DNA sequence: CTGTTTGTTTGCCG
DNA sequence: TCGGCAAACAAACA
């Protein structure tokens, strides 16, 4: 689930239910999701007041009274759930945070999520080389982040050092709407194409946040509906046949329109065939 | 049983 | 030292 728009929703949910509360106890039900020494993690959180929260990319940073920071990542299936009574905690709760009022459950069925403590947001960002959040990134910064890269554009968009917050469906959606094939190398893109990608990143992410990551409310022409995540009937543009191509790019399932998104090499081949 | 998954980390290679 | 790349991680689901 969680790409940038979902995590933005999780942050709002956290702010409404838990921000300002004090953690009285940390109940670790499965320490697979804790990416450090569990005892130290629990010790750093117990008794702390959660004084502020900030989202960067797919991370939420919760500042503690001690000055340290609780770092939350949701992997592929994580989420927060606040409950008044302990018995109401979700089935796949991996860590249950006892607050002075109620309980904050961190649920994560597939255990790809990760929790830890960092000295500061900046220290963590530096450690991971995490880029600025995609929503706040400027065109100049985006251009700078692409510099010197030669991998496939889709792989690069998924790199959190380049575009913090972008995930698999957003990368596909951006490239579809920008009419660029996901396998095109970054250095093969001209400035107009880079600008188009940047504009689409902003537009699509902003729109998804406004719709609170509710896929059913995205326009029918969005590529995302061809993934079968919604019941919506996809709409096709005039140049689109109803074919959707499915390939692997950097090991990730990738959907594209073979009519709108053409590889330069393929274009050249087709021109040759026509002239011969 | 097989294949797939909205994400990141790790280790190897050039 | 860095970027690219593929495998690894874990478990649910079709």
Span A156-173, mean pLDDT?
96
- Does residue A175 have a pLDDT over 80? yes
Q: Which residue is nearest to nucleotide B8 (CA to C1')?
A: A75
Residue A155, nucleotide of least CA–C1' distance = C4
Residue A150 CA, nucleotide B14 C1', distance (Å): 14
Span A171-183, mean pLDDT?
96
Q: What are A66-98's pLDDT values in tens digits?
A: 999 999 999 999 999 999 999 999 999 999 999
Residue A112 CA, nucleotide C8 C1', distance (Å): 12
Average pLDDT, chain A: 92
Span A173-182, mean pLDDT?
96
Q: What pLDDT was estimated at residue A276? A: 38
Residue A119 CA, nucleotide C14 C1', distance (Å): 43
Residue A76 CB neighbours (<10 A): 15
Q: Is the CB of A148 under 7 A from strand C?
A: yes
Instruction: Put residue A46 in one of left, alpha, beta given phi > 0 → left and psi -120 to 50 → alpha.
Output: beta
Q: Is the CB of A249 under 7 A from strand C?
A: no
Residue A112 CA, nucleotide B9 C1', distance (Å): 11
Residue A271 CA, nucleotide C12 C1', distance (Å): 47
Nucleotides of C under 7 A from a protein CB: 3-13
- pLDDT band per the 50, 70, 90 thresholds, residue A267: low
Q: What are A105-140's pLDDT values in tens digits?
A: 999 999 999 999 999 999 999 999 999 999 999 999
Largest CA distance in chain A: 77
- pLDDT band per the 50, 70, 90 thresholds, residue A1: low
- Report how far residue A201's alpha carbon sits from residue A83's, in angstroms, rounded to the nearest whole number: 35
- CB within 7 A of nucleic chain B: A 1-3, 6, 57-58, 73, 75-76, 110, 112, 114, 128, 158, 160, 167-169, 227, 229, 251-253
- pLDDT band per the 50, 70, 90 thresholds, residue A268: low
A118's CB contacts (< 8 A; 6+ apart) are A61, A68, A69, A71, A124, A127
Residue A147 CA, nucleotide B14 C1', distance (Å): 20
- Report how far residue A75's alpha carbon sits from residue A113's, in angstroms, rounded to the nearest whole number: 4
Q: What pLDDT was estimated at residue A82? A: 96
Cα A251 to the chain's mean position, in Å?
A: 17
Q: What pLDDT was estimated at residue A275? A: 41
- Comparing A43-47, A158-162, A272-276, which segment has the lowest mean pLDDT? A272-276
- pLDDT band per the 50, 70, 90 thresholds, residue A232: confident
DSSP element (H, E) containing A40: helix A38-45
Exposed/middle/buried for residue A100 (C-beta within 10 Å: 0-12, 13-18, 19+) = exposed
- Does residue A204 have a pLDDT over 80? yes
Q: Is the CB of A111 under 7 A from strand C?
A: yes
Q: What are A244-266's pLDDT values in tens digits?
A: 899 999 999 999 999 999 987 76
- A219 or A272, which is more confident: A219
Residue A184 CA, nucleotide B7 C1', distance (Å): 22
Q: What pLDDT was estimated at residue A78? A: 95
Q: Is the CB of A76 under 7 A from strand C?
A: yes
Output the pTM of the full model.
Answer: 0.94
Q: How far is CA A233 from CA A128, A208, A227, A229, A238, in A?
A: 40, 19, 11, 11, 16
Q: What pLDDT was estimated at residue A18? A: 97
- Report how far residue A47's alpha carbon sits from residue A100's, in angstroms, rounded to the nearest whole number: 10
Residue A32, nucleotide of least CA–C1' distance = C10
Residue A33 CB neighbours (<10 A): 23
Q: How far is CA A210 from CA A110, A196, A203, A218, A222, in A?
A: 28, 21, 11, 10, 16
């Amino acid at each position: 689930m969680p790409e940038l728009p979902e995590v933005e929703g999780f942050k709002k949910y956290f702010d409404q239910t838990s921000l300002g509360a004090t953690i009285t106890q940390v109940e670790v039900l499965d320490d697979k999701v804790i990416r450090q020494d569990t005892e130290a993690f629990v010790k750093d959180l117990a008794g702390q007041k959660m004084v502020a929260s900030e989202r960067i990319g797919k991370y939420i940073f919760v500042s503690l009274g001690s000055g340290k920071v609780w770092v939350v990542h949701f992997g592929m299936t994580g989420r927060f759930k606040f409950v008044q009574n302990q018995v109401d905690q979700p089935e796949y709760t991996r860590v249950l945070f006892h607050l002075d009022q109620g309980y904050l459950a961190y649920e994560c069925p597939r255990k790809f999520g990760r929790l830890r403590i960092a000295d500061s947001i900046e220290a963590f960002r530096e450690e991971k080389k995490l880029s600025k959040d995609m929503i706040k990134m400027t065109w100049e910064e985006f251009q700078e982040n692409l510099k010197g890269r030669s991998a496939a554009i889709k792989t690069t968009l998924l790199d959190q050092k380049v575009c913090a917050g972008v995930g698999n469906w957003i990368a596909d959606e951006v490239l579809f709407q920008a009419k660029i094939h996901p396998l095109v190398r970054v250095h093969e893109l001209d400035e107009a194409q880079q600008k188009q990608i940047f504009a689409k990143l902003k537009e699509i992410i902003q729109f998804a946040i406004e719709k609170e990551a509710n896929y059913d409310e995205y326009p029918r022409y969005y590529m995302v509906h061809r993934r079968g995540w919604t019941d919506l009937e996809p709409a096709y543009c005039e140049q689109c046949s109803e074919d959707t191509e499915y390939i692997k790019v950097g090991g990730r399932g990738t959907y594209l329109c073979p009519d709108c998104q053409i590889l330069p090499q393929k274009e050249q081949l087709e021109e040759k065939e026509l002239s011969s």
